[in-house]
Structure 1
Amino acid sequence: MKITVLVLGTRGDVQPFIALAIALQRRGHEVRVATSRGFADMVAHSGVRHVPVSADYEEWFQSEEGIRWMAGSDNTARFMRMLAGEGVGIDSRLKPRMHRELLAACEGADAIVANLVIEDSAACIAEKLQVPFIPGYTMPMLPTSEFPSPFLSAHKLPLRAMNRLTHSLLETFYWQGQKRLINAWRAELGLPPTAISMREKLWRTGAPILHCYSSHLVPRPSDWSAANVITGPWTMPADVGVNAGGVPSPELIRWLDEGPPPIYLGYWRLPLMDKAGMLRLAIEVANTLGVRFAIGASWSAEEIAALRVPESIFITRSVDHDWLFARCSATVHHGGAGTTAATLRAGLPTVICSICNDQPFWGNRVTALGVGYSMPFKQLTAARLTQALRHIQDGAVRARANRLGEQMRREDGTATAVRIIEERLPGAPLLS
């Protein structure tokens, strides 16, 4: 088949779909990936054809505007206002150009696969071209009575009906903010307007929906239909992973070899304006516990050079998580689905400092499973991080994290996703 993969977002959103594209291509399918230009190198290392898209969420989240947004995005009311039209990530004026790029990428395709960020726009294209469409979710998105929407609550609500209601509320607010742009795009495609979101239209068709996370982290809800498949995470093949995910520098390799396994501290997605302050926090914790920190950050070489970094700290830019985590003793990060999965697959206990969206949900899951500790980022202090790291260094926590890692490493989510696509795409119901 000729398959186009449409994926936008940050690295945690994009990398699993590149892994899926590699697996599909190695099965003999003709695959292209349409994503932001910032991921051109990652796609190039995969050997899959890249179609560049103007919108760049990764760049936006590293901008001052993106940092400010993250700093205030833990407020649920503000998040709902954003869904209802405030917008996040890219300027709405870019969307017409982005839509044309996505359409061009899908010309001649036999099927379209897309992620949550671009799902509605991609589904419109699939309806126009009358080809099957499969969404992939890195978190549980479909309505269920067993737990609330990961975007609205990290904890189960008292009544099952209340859990399901949160999913409906999220979809309603989301569609209120998107329907004007989506119906304008549908008009440009020559399609009639829709009163419901493309996501809801898709759910109603019964077409296959893939969930690329582990059922060991989130068991499959009993009230989901057979159309919904939890595949396990989509991971890069070993012969591509390090090159695509970020090659470690000789300096990082030497630093790792010179001491005990460090704790990974991911600053990539934390709303940082005060870099020196966060470095002081890491130094204080390292001195108190006698540990080393490998800090993953988007800081420039000039910014790092201006800081006084002790031998117990190493600051690195993008590096493959699977490679690095195999050399670490624990992780501290924002709780994105991708980083959480990579940590637990490596068998490491983790501290999640959640900011927004689904991050508190994943923080709650690692806490419930006894493999980590979670707190809101706004509560992060040296004292609290020290307490959290002491908690996850407990032998029982480490043993549970190790067992979970073994279970997750036995999953082959990418192969499962490819099998479902090959089995269910022919004859899959089309959007109309």
Structure 2
Amino acid sequence: MRVVLSTYGSRGDVEPMLGLAVRLRELGADARLCAPSDEEFAARSAALGVPVVPVGDPVRALVTGAAPAAPVDFPTRVARLTAASYEAVLGQAAAGGAVVATGLFPSAAGARAAAETAGARFVYAGLQPTVLPSPHHPPFQYPGRPAPPAGADSTELWELDVESMNALFGGAVNAHRTAVGLPVVENVRDHVLTGRPWLATDPTLGPWLPADLDVVQTGAWLLPDPRPLPAGLTAFLDAGEPPVYVGFGSMPMRGAEDVARLAVEQAVAAGRRVVVGRGWAELSAGGDGAPDDRFVTGEVNHRALFARVAAVVHHGGAGTTTAAALAGAPQLVVPQIVDQPYWAARVAELGIGAVHDTAVPTAESVAAALRTVLAPRTRGRAAAVAAAVRTDGAEVAARLLLDGC
């Protein structure tokens, strides 16, 4: 069976799809990935034996602003990404097979159109509950759209979200559908989400609460990672007590650099060693402390590393939140955008860590948050939640696909 997995986004969007692709291939399916053209994604896919088709511009350059580009208006960007995803997926999809899409909305819309053209089954997969309509949470507010009316509840906001999505994406998406011989749709959001979307989150960490929408929650799609930690990092971990990890993944951390610096400084001030994840923000250890109390690392096996740290300070991405929770590591979440406030709130609600706003951080505020995170009660709660986190999400999703469910 041919299964095409399509996404356009950062590492947090790509790795779950790779996790599903690996399990599908282990079960005998012909699984392949359409993903952003970043070299690091291509290298990761190649190492796992997953064929990958590049889509659009590299995401890292767009996120960090490293690539100079002439200004492009929003409708043009939507049209380009929709078309690029359509062409990539159509080139791989097969009649009677399946297409699974997540990531930026125009990418998912292009993947859905490709599935229709190819005669393949289409599945939309959300990587966080807040992307799916529910009375239990509001939708993401898009920049440039009118502010919602005061006092509106989540149900009303989701109804307004249809108008916003049609205004932002409907023109470009329907123009593309017309160009490839498909009928236009009145409600582009619900067309792409479908009437039965999947939710690839752990039921303990990111539960789907009862709502009218028929959602299939599979569990998180974890990518198996047998890679050993680098020798230098292992030696650092072996040389003392478990350190605090500070890293913000694929977030550029514009305007929030002080949070990372203060987290390192306050952890050291509290007598803790620190591992700094360089990430897309190119973080450094900072300060003039003794060289043996800080270690800077590039991209590594988070599950192996987090099992050996005292706490994880991060941005609140779904993948990092899940990896830290699975390792039983207390978390200090510094949310930036989109789904990160949701995961930060879940960490606080579960009692497995604390949240720090990026607005005007101070040494005192960061130190106080770290005290909460490093308290024995928080570690005990993190260990209890870790025991409840499932690891079979990719298996569940793969078998559903192969069984045609």
How far apart are 1:215 and its partner, in Å?
A: 1.1
Contact 1:213-1:231 at 8 Å conserved across structures: yes
CA 1:34–1:362: 2 relative to 1, 3 Å? same
Contact 1:267-1:295 at 8 Å conserved across structures: no
Structure 2 CA distance for aligned equivalents of residues 146 and 54 of structure 1: 35
Structure possessing the higher relative contact order (Cα contacts under 8 Å, 6 or more residues apart):
1
How far apart are 1:22 and its partner, in Å?
A: 0.7
How far apart are 1:322 and its partner, in Å?
A: 0.8
CA 1:359–1:24: 2 relative to 1, 3 Å? same
Structure 2 CA distance for aligned equivalents of residues 368 and 320 of structure 1: 27
Structure 2 CA distance for aligned equivalents of residues 30 and 114 of structure 1: 16
Matched position secondary structure for 2:221: coil
Matched position secondary structure for 2:382: helix
Contact 1:146-1:160 at 8 Å conserved across structures: no
Amino acid at match of 2:395: A
Task: Please tell me whether residue 257 in structure 1 is matched to residue 247 in structure 2.
Answer: no
Matched position secondary structure for 1:354: coil
Structure 2 CA distance for aligned equivalents of residues 251 and 109 of structure 1: 49
1:116 equivalent in structure 2: 103
1:163 equivalent in structure 2: 154
Structure 2 CA distance for aligned equivalents of residues 40 and 361 of structure 1: 29
TM value normalised by structure 2: 0.86
Q: Give CA-to-partner distance per residue, 1:121-168, whole Å, 9 cap, x none.
A: 11111122222101111111322222323668xxxxxx9971222333
How far apart are 1:250 and its partner, in Å?
A: 2.2
2:395 equivalent in structure 1: 415
1:58 equivalent in structure 2: 60
Task: Please tell me whether residue 134 in structure 1 is matched to residue 134 in structure 2.
Answer: no
CA 1:422–1:363: 2 relative to 1, 3 Å? same
Structure 2 CA distance for aligned equivalents of residues 269 and 344 of structure 1: 19
2:135 is aligned, of 138, 141, 145, to 145
CA 1:424–1:305: 2 relative to 1, 3 Å? closer
Q: What's the % identity of the aligned pairs?
A: 30
Gaps of 5+ in 1: 67-84, 153-158, 426-432
Task: Please tell me whether residue 341 in structure 1 is matched to residue 341 in structure 2.
Answer: no
CA 1:46–1:308: 2 relative to 1, 3 Å? same
Amino acid at match of 2:51: R
Structure 2 CA distance for aligned equivalents of residues 94 and 147 of structure 1: 28
Amino acid at match of 1:222: P
Alignment of 1:3-402 (within 5 A): 3-38=3-38, 39-63=41-65, 86=74, 93=80, 96-106=83-93, 110-117=97-104, 118-140=107-129, 141-149=131-139, 162-197=153-188, 199-203=189-193, 206=195, 208-225=196-213, 227-237=214-224, 241-243=225-227, 248-272=229-253, 280-298=261-279, 310-402=291-383
* 291-300 or 212-221, which deviates more: 291-300
1:78 equivalent in structure 2: none
How far apart are 1:402 and its partner, in Å?
A: 0.7
Matched position secondary structure for 1:251: helix
Contact 2:6-2:33 at 8 Å conserved across structures: yes
Give the paired residue count.
390
* 51-60 or 94-103, which deviates more: 94-103
How far apart are 1:97 and its partner, in Å?
A: 4.2
CA 1:27–1:179: 2 relative to 1, 3 Å? same
CA 1:150–1:365: 2 relative to 1, 3 Å? farther
CA 1:179–1:168: 2 relative to 1, 3 Å? same
CA RMSD of aligned residues (A): 3.2
CA 1:319–1:170: 2 relative to 1, 3 Å? farther
Structure 2 CA distance for aligned equivalents of residues 242 and 150 of structure 1: 35
CA 1:308–1:275: 2 relative to 1, 3 Å? farther
Structure 1 CA distance for aligned equivalents of residues 83 and 16 of structure 2: 26
Matched position secondary structure for 2:387: helix
Amino acid at match of 1:415: E
Contact 1:8-1:36 at 8 Å conserved across structures: yes
Structure 2 CA distance for aligned equivalents of residues 259 and 356 of structure 1: 35
TM value normalised by structure 1: 0.81
Structure 2 CA distance for aligned equivalents of residues 365 and 42 of structure 1: 29
Amino acid at match of 1:37: S
Amino acid at match of 2:43: D
Matched position secondary structure for 1:380: coil
Structure 1 CA distance for aligned equivalents of residues 337 and 192 of structure 2: 26
How far apart are 1:182 and its partner, in Å?
A: 0.9
Gaps of 5+ in 2: 143-149
1:405 equivalent in structure 2: 386
Structure 1 CA distance for aligned equivalents of residues 268 and 90 of structure 2: 54
Matched position secondary structure for 1:298: coil
How far apart are 1:269 and its partner, in Å?
A: 4.1
CA 1:394–1:228: 2 relative to 1, 3 Å? same
Contact 1:261-1:329 at 8 Å conserved across structures: yes
CA 1:356–1:399: 2 relative to 1, 3 Å? same
